[in-house]
Chains A and B, each alone.
Chain A
Amino acid sequence: MSHPVPLNVTRGSTTAHVTFLLLALAALGLAALPWISGAGGSGRAVALLVYILLAVMWNALAGFAGLVSIGQTLFFGVAAYVTIRLSNAGVDPYLAVILAIVSGAVLGWLTSLFMLSLKDGEFAIGMWVLSSLAHLCVNLDPLIQGETGTSLIALNAYDIETRNTFTLWVALAVTVVILAALVVLLRSGTGAAITALRDDEIGARSIGIDVMRTKRIVFVLAATGTAAAGALWLASNTTFQPRAYFGVHWTAYMLFMVLVGGLGRVEGALIGALVFFLIETLFGAYGAWYLVGLGGIAVVCALFFPNGLWGLIGPKLPSDPIPTGYKISKIHDASWEEI
């Protein structure tokens, strides 16, 4: 082989560094929230983190692997249930949260073995059927007593201040780890395959991408992140009523966040989650009108901003805030160019 060509490869930019700094500051700000605002603030912060997890994971699944699932509540609900069950068996509730996340990964891998061979609509509905099935099974558990539900009573061992603070920190740590895992994955060789798959599945096969394996990786990651959201939602709200976890409203929220934010971009999902959180905080008290409003916004977005808010913001930035790609140039020997 001949000599290597001198190449200059960059994988970041000032925009990315600024974004990273802002995100780190935001995480620090959230971590310090218990001292800034009271106990109520922590609960809202956990809600924001849960929305972020749900949006980013649903986006990874639909936007990258092209797998539109309307039953991700399977992982959300089962993780909450596993947390309750483990804690009822004497496991520390926070350890139970972590174990529930791991069980979400395992459940994701198991379901991937038969779900991924289904085609578009079949897959979407199939996931919903699985979620409904899990919902029914959970209802049969005597501990849960049908839709009556139960609480994560073990949390009462901690006083309320400590508990809220600790839940927030655990939520923050879990969210940061899962988002970091996603970004590292997307920047890896497998990530490039995932992005290629997003853009053209047939083209991806032709250059040797194992489409099934690639989709499975995304599916398991999405299951894990969604499970994390479910377990954290439980830790923050303490009550477990099956309908509140397996309910189809969560699917609607995931769709809303990703479509409004922008499908196929991590940045879009983040913005979608933030927008949803703000709308909920400001208008959540309006009940039915709030839901009508959400639907209206989704329709307006779908009609006028098909690429979501990120489609408006992204192109105005000098470069990608969360870069997954490469910039390349050949290094020309300066001494030669002088001549």
Chain B
Amino acid sequence: MTAHNSFVLQSSGLSMSFGAFKVLEDINLDVTQGEIVGVLGPNGAGKTTFMNLLTGAYRPTHGRVNLMGRDVTGLPTAKRCHAGLGRTHQVPRPFGGMTVFENVLVAARQGNVSHGGDPVQLAWRVLEQTGLADVANRLARTLGLLDRKRLELSRALATDPQVLLLDEIGGGLTLTEGDHLIELIQSIHGQGVTIIWIEHIMRMLLGSCTRLICMAGGQIIADGAPRDVIEAPVVQSAYFGVAA
């Protein structure tokens, strides 16, 4: 398979099994520079597993991953991060014994290897952007869930990603908070970052995505313009339980 430069991220025939349990089967997805791809799908559909294959947290049983036209299937997570792939975790993974600022600073130092600039400045700007500057000196373990999710996002941003994978960062937000998050994601997108965003909250995906895919049972069952995907009968039945 030849890599096209216009695709920043490509998944070709990705499959994943845990023992005899098939979680993903033959996932093909080509993401173009500048897209915001929403990923929707019922619990257990394999969305997080797909993300783990893209970042290299898991090795796929079959298939390949291309990042910026380069085959990264054999690269460890840290190297993919250096190559421009950032991610947030569905269950936040703060460095609890470090402050919020230190969490972001270490990401700016270790993840942002090629782009230069003062990591202290970068880390601070990110915190101002994500709204965590006020709690910069707090130990990360003292944060509540919402701030932990913001910290996930801040750390990923500090690595200066070209492609950003978001795994359910919008859950549990009030309407206003949700609107702020959409604004934030649009401003990140405005800086030229391509985004893949797993979320259960339809309103948020519709409010920001340029493209939507729906996963169910370890496969992509729909892929296209957000409205079309939501109205597709397969999606209606898989996701909303409406008989097709």
Q: Is A326 an interface residue (CB 8 A)?
A: yes
Check A203 against B89 for contact (C-beta < 8 Å).
yes
Instruction: List the one stretch of A98-106, A194-202, A271-279, A283-291 in contact with chain B.
Output: A194-202
B residues near A9, Cβ cutoff 8 Å:
120
Q: Is A5 an interface residue (CB 8 A)?
A: yes
Check A196 against B78 for contact (C-beta < 8 Å).
no
Q: Is B76 an interface residue (CB 8 A)?
A: yes
Q: Is B173 an interface residue (CB 8 A)?
A: no
Interface of B is mostly: helix
B residues 38-59 in Cβ contact with A at 8 Å: 55, 57
Q: Is A327 an interface residue (CB 8 A)?
A: yes
Q: Is B205 an interface residue (CB 8 A)?
A: no
Check A328 against B137 for contact (C-beta < 8 Å).
yes
Q: Is A172 an interface residue (CB 8 A)?
A: no
Proximity string of chain A (9-25) to chain B, C-beta cutoff 8 Å, 1 when within and 0 when not: 10000000000000000
- Give min CB distance, B163 to chain A, whole Å: 13
A residues 167-212 in Cβ contact with B at 8 Å: 189, 192-193, 195-196, 198-200, 202-211
Q: Which residue of B lies closest to A327 (CB)?
A: B137
Q: Is A4 an interface residue (CB 8 A)?
A: yes
B residues near A199, Cβ cutoff 8 Å:
94-98
Check A200 against B78 for contact (C-beta < 8 Å).
no
Bound complex: CA of A203 vs CA of B88, how far in Å? 9
- Total count of chain B residues near the partner, CB < 8 A: 42
Interface of A is mostly: mixed
Check A192 against B98 for contact (C-beta < 8 Å).
yes
Residue from A7, A196, A209, A329 within 8 A of B98 (CB atoms) = A196
Bound complex: CA of A325 vs CA of B95, how far in Å? 13
- Give min CB distance, A332 to chain B, whole Å: 12
Bound complex: CA of A79 vs CA of B64, how far in Å? 48
Check B159 against A208 for contact (C-beta < 8 Å).
yes
Q: Is A113 an interface residue (CB 8 A)?
A: no
Check B120 against A7 for contact (C-beta < 8 Å).
yes
Check A206 against B94 for contact (C-beta < 8 Å).
no
Q: Is A1 an interface residue (CB 8 A)?
A: yes
- Total count of chain A residues near the partner, CB < 8 A: 30
Proximity string of chain B (164-199) to chain A, C-beta cutoff 8 Å, 1 when within and 0 when not: 000000000000000000000000000000000000
Check B87 against A206 for contact (C-beta < 8 Å).
yes
Which of B107, B117, B156: most chain A CB closer than 10 A? Answer: B107
Q: Which B residues are within 8 Å of any A CB, using their own CB?
A: 55, 57, 76-78, 81-82, 86-87, 89, 93-99, 101-103, 105-107, 109-113, 117-118, 120-121, 124-125, 128, 133, 136-137, 155-156, 158-159
17 additional contacts, CB 8 Å, given A200-B95, A329-B137? A1-B117, A4-B121, A7-B124, A9-B120, A200-B94, A203-B93, A206-B81, A206-B93, A206-B156, A207-B107, A207-B110, A208-B81, A208-B107, A209-B106, A325-B99, A325-B102, A327-B137
Question: Can you spell out 28 A-B residue pairs with CB atoms less than 8 angstroms apart?
Answer: A7-B120, A7-B121, A9-B120, A189-B106, A189-B110, A195-B106, A196-B98, A196-B106, A196-B110, A199-B95, A199-B98, A200-B93, A200-B94, A200-B96, A203-B94, A204-B95, A206-B87, A207-B106, A207-B155, A208-B78, A208-B107, A208-B159, A210-B78, A326-B105, A327-B99, A327-B137, A328-B120, A329-B137
